[in-house]
Structure 1
Amino acid sequence: MNRRFWKKKGGKKNNDSNNKKTNIKPPDNNNDGSGGDDDDDNGIGNDNLNVMNINNADDSPEPDNPTLDVYKIKKKTDDPYYSIHLYFDKKDFKNKDLLEKVETSLNFIKRNLDVAEVSLHGGPSFNISIDRFNKDEEFINEWETFNDDLINKPRETLNCLGLALHQVLAEKPMDNDPLSIDNTNLPMIRVKIINLKQIIPLRDIKLTFYGKLISTRGCVVRVGRTRHIHNWIPFTCIKCTNWQIEKQPDGIYTLPNKCNVCGGGKFKPRCDSRYVKTTPFQIIKLQEHFNSKQDDRGKMPRILEVELFDDLVEICMPGDDITVVGMIKVRGTDDGILPKSVISSSNSMYMEAVSIVNNKNKSKGTTEVGIDLNIHDYFAIKKVHDSQDVFTLLVHSLCPAIYGHELVKAGLLLSLIGGSSKHESLRDDIHVLIVGDPGLGKSQMLQACSRVAVKGVYVCGNSSTSSGLTVTLTKENGTNDFALEPGALVLADKGSCIIDEFDKMPTQHQALLEAMEQSRVSVAKSGIICSLPARTSILAAANPIGGRYDRSKSVTENLNLSQPLLSRFDLIYLLLDQPNEQLDTLLCSHVMNAHTGFKRTRAMRDADDNDNDQMSTAASTSNELTNLKERLTGVIDQEIVPQPMLRKYIAYARQYVKPKLSIEAAKLLQDYYLSLREMNNIFGSLPIFHRQLEALIRLTEARAKVELRTIATEDDAREIIEIFKFTISSVPPQSLPEIRRTNDTGKITANKVSAFVVFLREQIAGDDNKLFTDIELKDIADAGGIVIKNFSLFINKLNEEGILIKRPNGYKFIGM
């Protein structure tokens, strides 16, 4: 509260006229017990000269005037409706066309009283579909231009609907329900229109949509702090201290024109009054979605600012896919901040949200990630499902340019479809890691996955940071508040995050641990503590250290990855460039066919037919059931599925198919998991945990979802076990490292440690409880040509690193 202090100027005495002009009265007596009129000239004992003596006469007390409470139900003699001043200006009170629209809306609500019932329990706003108005023939006949007015005059139309609902709630008697709204103090009611047809992409929004109501869809990439804007502010006249309240349109600071009592034009705002009315306010940024077309993925995404009010505040999280219905506005024209010349700027448009629908909620005909499915798509999905071998067809359609990695593409396809979680604590995302030598098509397969993924985010490890993967905090313009900007993991929620060059981002691996297992990203920065959903599948590709795989080292030594991170991957493929005459011949034929438009000559078809006949004959003589690898490497007769159709098939399977594990499949997976536990570790050094069992269950459920089945059978589990065995068998046996024995000084080196570990693993021969004495360890080193000057120090080093564990009777080998 502003205080005014009285000070004596130029040694003049303060007279009555000056007191009236400044509206300050001198005190009647002296508090210090001294003084009189004789002391005024000397400035002694005059309380008027004491600057600490605060006089509040200038600040008129806040009146208990019910007319200042604009939310109180009131109706003047010249007002046609209750609280009409909340919705329209006084000049509109006698507009016949406007009043007829309000009366039509009032009749509509009285015929549909369930709308008012929802408002009583849902707050000062309610959702209503536009189809409900169009289905009411009486309403459309009375208001023939309703659809045009809603698009071209959205503010006026929505205020008519809100005012009509206000009348019904104001006249409704109060009940004893504690959740009902106090209809004696109703705020302005906002009507939220949903299901507005023709969703306009963000890229197509132009200045021609200014002032119109449109619907658009996108992903939330930034969420600002919640603030409050003023709707009504009381003012006091500086001349007569009269109180009056003024409306602040769109939060723009507006002073009264003149005082109602004295006609003065100078006012002071009283923001500390209880009659101040505010509204929660928040700004978010919406980014457009990319469709399945390849040319859209190389463009900069369009971003649109959206303003949220009232109950729309804090209903969006970074990474959410939402549909917004709102009015297009322009900076400088509708916010009162910048000059109107900013209308020529391309970034000046923003939207005031009317309603928001979070697309996490399932809706008919549309998947939860934004792919629209019509009747033609359902017939096409059924045609693909009726194929003789759906799994083989989809694997060949995933990345047709890559040949020879069918089991790898099978794992990627299962990851794109995902499992079926029964509880929120259990994840259904399948993480896949591809490790191998350069030039084997790892990046090409990942890019194919990003094109057919329902919601895919492609990231390259060379140019990514931990903030770019998780969440970034940025300062808002003009304030010290922070806003949340989601990273790749949050944007890929309920989708797939494809990370290429995974080995080039070692400092960012710790940011993936929580997201891969807990399916969320926690933030504790700059006073903001929150947790964002990151239910995404990680598809990553990495190269070994040095470019090529070193057979003298284990898998973990070849990769710059930690064991906790590797254990979170459900499938780890190791691809090595090995010369193979038969495979190289087939690969050359495939590459030549690809460059000629996949046109197959008669000689090629005959050769493939002969190979298929020989393979089928050999398989029939050995096993009645052809294994998965032979089926996937065979030649299919029908055409491959196009990428847009494959994307819709995956979206349909993720949305509507939720399979369960059969008893036979569960028993088979359990037996295989117990056999894995006997191996002690896989991939050279990774221990066997229950994560491998959960991975087998998720993969089996995904295999059933490929064929749109609700039961995962024993055959599905058998094929998943075959894929899992392929990943384990792809690890080559660790060969002996090259040790230079000439002029060997006997120092302890990494190559000597690796060679000694290989020799110990050969000596165990499956007996994990075998113990070695010091003499036996020395003999093993001498037999392998390992020269160690201080062998006891060498054994102590291995004991400290946990490779050898000292027992009372000797040393037990644990491994690296």
Structure 2
Amino acid sequence: MDVNGGMLSAGEIRIKQVWEWHDTARTALPCTESDMEVVSVFESFWDACNISALGGRLDILSGELEIDYCRLIEAMQNIASDFEELVSSQPERVLRQLSVAMDLHRSWTPNQRGGRCIIRLKRVKPQVSLTNLRAATVGRLVCVRGQVTRVGAVKPLVCSAWFSCVKCGERLEDRSVFPDGKYSAPRSCQSEHCKSMTMEPQRDTAETIDVQAIKLQQYDTAHQELERIPQHIEIELVGPELVDQCAPGDELVVAGVVKSLNADVARGRHDKRALERSIFLLYIEANSIHNATRSISSDKNESENIIFASNDAANTTTLSEEMILKTRFSQVMDGSSCDIVNRLVASLCPSIYGHIEAKFGLLLSLFSGDQVTPGGSTIVQDNKPSEKKVSKNLLTKRANSHVLLLGDPGLGKSQMLRACATIAPRSIYVGGNTSTTTGLTASVVREARHGAALEAGALVLADSGCVAIDEFEKMDKSQHAGLLEAMEQQQISISKAGVAARLSARTTVLAAANPTGGQYDRDRAVTENCTKLPAPLLSRFDLIFVLIDDPQRSSDTWLSSHVIRQHNRHATGGKNNLANPALSLSHQENSQHQHGNQSNEIISWSILRKYLSAAQSRPSPRLTRSAAQLLRATFLKMRSEATMNNTPITMRQLESLVRLAKARARLELQSIVTPDHAADVIALYGTSVMDPCRKLGAHRTGSKNFAHLTASSSDSKIVTNLINMLHDATVSTGSPWFTLDDIKNRLSHYPDLNTAIRGKPTKSLGDYIDILRDQNFLLYQKRDDNNEASSSVSSAYAYRFLNSGT
């Protein structure tokens, strides 16, 4: 009988049965007379509709039906003109009506193979910002976009179960349904002779469904809402098709229904006082999700396989792509190769004057990327890639280039990092003095409702992007240790609270640090100028640029004019992105300042961001044979020179050259690495510090030439005797610290050694001390007051003797 007491028709009975079968799935909704009428209309719609025309795809086993939202709205205009408002304001009821109608259309019954129909709406529009989710949106269908910051474990949720009376043992006639997963037992027994109020569930009849909770953070807040705390919202994924489809750091598009939950219940409190509180939290029960991160990655790999399927197709596809991109980014790609690079370098951070090499290195790091597989690189000869199959079971090597800016304060290191973080499509800017180890990597948190969950840090959230770390030297040892795995293996392994996982961290690390004491000392090595940065961490940077404030009248004149011009522009309301004077990338002309205003060549950051996204979406450039030979020859030369001066040159340097060369080709949207690209990278690599344990001397930056003081046989004997003398002094005094006066006083007790040193007309004691420092037997650094020192050591800085020379 219906609600008015009338008899139901056979069709209405069938509709009600299917409706009740859907009640056991998740949410209990009463079937009204109007629902039956709407279901009949929707059944006729499905009978006359072609599902594929709606962008639909029905999975027989799960019953899941994906439908394009916009196409569905358009098709429903003839049936219900207000359908869009209905599905937005009453999404659960409208989707239930559509699902029941589809099951009636395909004559589905619970005894048949396959599941009940579940409508999944994809490409729901418009997308709503998380900041606009308020009380008025509760119960409405919304679509949000964000980044996954926390992922909980997949757990079974009981949707319904049969109950029986504890006293008489009779089972209740109706199955109890738990709306939104909230447990509610029947209040009394339905038997006429037993009115017991104690019911117990029959656990073997419970129907469960997979559920997972994730936390979503507002996407791209770094560029849109600088002064606001990023908004978060919890997403509840229900069903085997939705759970376990994302990881921390992934970018998701979620369509679902906004719901509310008592704040105290969310924290695990279920007492009467907690239920009486009226503070609620919003969450979204997802109807469909789209993992943008995984889809981009799969499309990128598929396009890379298609492009090089055959030589002719590859040349045609690449040519057409390059022509399209050249037309789209004509402002960037007009002119020669040197013009393109100069224009990009000048546009990176126009407010900072000079530092061409550092800006060029930062640009290359932004354009680096793409995981590579050992044995999977292709050498291109005559623009024709050789056929080579790559096993998917091999480990991957990192393809991101890391850059460290080290130098005097006030030279614009932080501004350049901020510029990179703004230009990069996916980036996070953090401060070394305000971040924690878990904030950088990942952590395991426990929630009252969902148990242990993985919470992503900056390196995971910026996966396939960049992390800019300012005040790098102010981080503690545990933070530096947490970066080691992420910077080399491009992943973060975590094992805490019974949770063991590996998270992707394919992130470019850009860091800036100030030297110990506030000013860089040329006569001390990088490790001595920044004693808080360990050598293993420094070795993971592809490029280390030392920025020194050299007082030179010519450059100071242009620098002061540039600063004054900036303030005048700012005072008159001009843009902050000012043009640098035209500076050439030729390393022979770095000291020459060319005049003239080049504001017309400065590219806006919005165009740069699009250009960078287009470059990263292209397949990884292939090395030509000539470029590979040039890089190999450079590496072998560096290795041969390293054997003479104890400079540690390993395969890590060769891999850095290859990564930078590919980034240099991608800078021009090229598909192959030419010898010119390799030559530019080799020249840039020579201006960076390749050996952090060496001092710069009179040079501003590092040099490709590793020649230094070479010792003859007599010099070697003097050096050996000096080491023995310092070793004996360390053992006798118990302190490894020495000043120059201490060493001179010790020499007075070794007359033969003292005479040998004085007998050298071209060398002094200071030269031999430099040799010991070059070989890492002496470090000139701030004295550690916690250790016992020689009584004669009174200055803040002294020489520390390292017996092993490492």
TM-score, normalised to structure 2, is: 0.73
The whole-number CA distance in structure 1 between the counterparts of 2:233 and 2:416 is: 33
Q: Does 2:267 correspond to 1:320? A: no
The whole-number CA distance in structure 1 between the counterparts of 2:68 and 2:589 is: 50
Aligned residues of 2:188 and 2:199 also touching (Cα < 8 A): no
How far apart are 1:673 and its partner, in Å?
Answer: 1.1
Out of 157, 161, 176, the position equivalent to 2:98 is: 161
Match of 1:286 in 2: 216
Match of 1:666, SS?
helix
How far apart are 1:688 and its partner, in Å?
Answer: 0.9
Match of 2:160 in 1: 232
**Could you give the per-residue CA deviations for residues 126-170 of structure 1, whole angstroms, max 9, x where no partner exists?**
4332244256x4x54334443222212211121123223434666
The whole-number CA distance in structure 1 between the counterparts of 2:690 and 2:70 is: 59
Match of 2:67 in 1: 128
Match of 1:441 in 2: 412
How far apart are 1:557 and its partner, in Å?
Answer: 2.1
**How do residues 548-627 of structure 1 correspond to structure 2 at under 5 angstroms?**
548-559=519-530, 560-597=532-569
Match of 2:688, SS?
helix
Out of 239, 243, 247, the position equivalent to 1:310 is: 239
The whole-number CA distance in structure 1 between the counterparts of 2:409 and 2:646 is: 24
Match of 1:640 in 2: 602
Out of 6, 10, 19, the position equivalent to 1:84 is: 19
CA gap 1:680/1:418 in 2 versus in 1, 3 angstroms? same
Query: Letter of the aligned partner of 1:773 in structure 2?
Result: K
How far apart are 1:667 and its partner, in Å?
Answer: 1.5
Match of 1:36 in 2: none
Match of 1:725, SS?
helix
The whole-number CA distance in structure 2 between the counterparts of 1:291 and 1:471 is: 20
Match of 2:600, SS?
coil
Out of 664, 668, 685, the position equivalent to 1:707 is: 668
Match of 1:464 in 2: 435
User: Mean alpha-carbon deviation: is it higher for 379-388 or for 430-439?
Assistant: 379-388
How far apart are 1:339 and its partner, in Å?
Answer: 7.8
The whole-number CA distance in structure 1 between the counterparts of 2:82 and 2:433 is: 57
**Could you give the per-residue CA deviations for residues 565-584 of structure 1, whole angstroms, max 9, x where no partner exists?**
11111101011222222221
Aligned residues of 1:109 and 1:116 also touching (Cα < 8 A): no
Match of 1:348 in 2: 281
Q: Does 2:239 correspond to 1:300? A: no
How far apart are 1:231 and its partner, in Å?
Answer: 1.2
The whole-number CA distance in structure 1 between the counterparts of 2:406 and 2:674 is: 30
**How do residues 328-367 of structure 1 correspond to structure 2 at under 5 angstroms?**
328-332=258-262, 345=279, 348-362=281-295
Aligned residues of 1:116 and 1:168 also touching (Cα < 8 A): no
Match of 1:772 in 2: 716
How far apart are 1:461 and its partner, in Å?
Answer: 1.0
Match of 1:351, SS?
strand
How far apart are 1:215 and its partner, in Å?
Answer: 0.4
Q: Does 2:462 correspond to 1:492? A: yes
Query: Letter of the aligned partner of 2:552 in structure 1?
Result: N
**Could you give the per-residue CA deviations for residues 231-267 of structure 1, whole angstroms, max 9, x where no partner exists?**
1121113454221321222122233466554385545
Out of 460, 483, 497, the position equivalent to 2:453 is: 483
Aligned residues of 1:428 and 1:698 also touching (Cα < 8 A): yes
How far apart are 1:328 and its partner, in Å?
Answer: 0.9
How far apart are 1:802 and its partner, in Å?
Answer: 8.3
Aligned residues of 2:40 and 2:101 also touching (Cα < 8 A): no
CA gap 1:258/1:637 in 2 versus in 1, 3 angstroms? closer
Q: Percent identity?
A: 32
The whole-number CA distance in structure 2 between the counterparts of 1:260 and 1:277 is: 22
Match of 1:751 in 2: none
CA gap 1:733/1:148 in 2 versus in 1, 3 angstroms? closer
Q: Does 2:319 correspond to 1:399? A: no
The whole-number CA distance in structure 2 between the counterparts of 1:334 and 1:108 is: 49
The whole-number CA distance in structure 2 between the counterparts of 1:536 and 1:775 is: 44
**Could you give the per-residue CA deviations for residues 511-557 of structure 1, whole angstroms, max 9, x where no partner exists?**
01110011111101111100111110000011122222233332222
Match of 1:39 in 2: none
Aligned residues of 2:414 and 2:512 also touching (Cα < 8 A): yes
Aligned residues of 1:116 and 1:169 also touching (Cα < 8 A): no
The whole-number CA distance in structure 1 between the counterparts of 2:522 and 2:591 is: 28
Match of 2:665, SS?
helix
The whole-number CA distance in structure 1 between the counterparts of 2:17 and 2:681 is: 69
User: Mean alpha-carbon deviation: is it higher for 510-519 or for 650-659?
Assistant: 650-659
The whole-number CA distance in structure 1 between the counterparts of 2:593 and 2:660 is: 17
Match of 2:474 in 1: 504
Query: Letter of the aligned partner of 2:144 in structure 1?
Result: T
Aligned residues of 1:657 and 1:705 also touching (Cα < 8 A): no
How far apart are 1:733 and its partner, in Å?
Answer: 5.0
CA gap 1:679/1:786 in 2 versus in 1, 3 angstroms? farther
How far apart are 1:77 and its partner, in Å?
Answer: 9.1
Query: Letter of the aligned partner of 2:511 in structure 1?
Result: A
TM-score, normalised to structure 1, is: 0.72
Match of 1:810 in 2: none
Out of 358, 365, 370, the position equivalent to 1:415 is: 365
CA gap 1:117/1:400 in 2 versus in 1, 3 angstroms? closer
Aligned residues of 1:221 and 1:286 also touching (Cα < 8 A): yes
How far apart are 1:362 and its partner, in Å?
Answer: 4.1
**Could you give the per-residue CA deviations for residues 489-515 of structure 1, whole angstroms, max 9, x where no partner exists?**
111111111111111113111101110
The whole-number CA distance in structure 2 between the counterparts of 1:334 and 1:97 is: 41
**Could you give the per-residue CA deviations for residues 415-450 of structure 1, whole angstroms, max 9, x where no partner exists?**
112144443702221100111112211112112222
Match of 1:209 in 2: 137
Aligned residues of 2:60 and 2:114 also touching (Cα < 8 A): no
**Could you give the per-residue CA deviations for residues 71-122 of structure 1, whole angstroms, max 9, x where no partner exists?**
xxxx99933366320336564367443322441454267755999974125x
Aligned residues of 1:92 and 1:98 also touching (Cα < 8 A): no
CA gap 1:108/1:128 in 2 versus in 1, 3 angstroms? farther
Match of 1:788 in 2: 746
**How do residues 70-109 of structure 1 correspond to structure 2 at under 5 angstroms?**
78-80=13-15, 83-87=18-22, 89=29, 91-92=31-32, 95-104=35-44, 106-107=46-47
Aligned residues of 1:125 and 1:192 also touching (Cα < 8 A): yes
Aligned residues of 2:58 and 2:66 also touching (Cα < 8 A): no
CA gap 1:101/1:690 in 2 versus in 1, 3 angstroms? farther
Aligned residues of 2:186 and 2:199 also touching (Cα < 8 A): no
Match of 1:428, SS?
coil
Query: Letter of the aligned partner of 1:219 in structure 2?
Result: Q
Match of 1:159, SS?
helix
CA gap 1:334/1:459 in 2 versus in 1, 3 angstroms? closer
Query: Letter of the aligned partner of 1:503 in structure 2?
Result: E
Query: Letter of the aligned partner of 1:418 in structure 2?
Result: S
Match of 2:624 in 1: 662
The whole-number CA distance in structure 1 between the counterparts of 2:587 and 2:46 is: 71
The whole-number CA distance in structure 1 between the counterparts of 2:724 and 2:708 is: 11
CA gap 1:652/1:341 in 2 versus in 1, 3 angstroms? farther
The whole-number CA distance in structure 1 between the counterparts of 2:126 and 2:98 is: 22
Query: Letter of the aligned partner of 1:764 in structure 2?
Result: A
Aligned residues of 2:39 and 2:100 also touching (Cα < 8 A): no
CA gap 1:729/1:140 in 2 versus in 1, 3 angstroms? closer
The whole-number CA distance in structure 2 between the counterparts of 1:427 and 1:77 is: 62
RMSD (Å), alpha carbons: 4.4
The whole-number CA distance in structure 1 between the counterparts of 2:458 and 2:723 is: 54
Where does the alignment leave 5 or more consecutive residues of structure 1 unmatched?
1-74, 173-181, 369-375, 601-607, 620-624, 737-759, 805-812
Aligned residues of 1:102 and 1:160 also touching (Cα < 8 A): yes
CA gap 1:165/1:788 in 2 versus in 1, 3 angstroms? farther
**How do residues 744-755 of structure 1 correspond to structure 2 at under 5 angstroms?**
none
CA gap 1:315/1:472 in 2 versus in 1, 3 angstroms? same
Aligned residues of 1:105 and 1:161 also touching (Cα < 8 A): no
How far apart are 1:642 and its partner, in Å?
Answer: 1.9
Aligned residues of 2:19 and 2:31 also touching (Cα < 8 A): no
Match of 1:331, SS?
strand
Match of 2:688 in 1: 727
Aligned residues of 1:420 and 1:658 also touching (Cα < 8 A): yes
Match of 1:199 in 2: 127
The whole-number CA distance in structure 2 between the counterparts of 1:464 and 1:551 is: 30
The whole-number CA distance in structure 1 between the counterparts of 2:22 and 2:593 is: 67
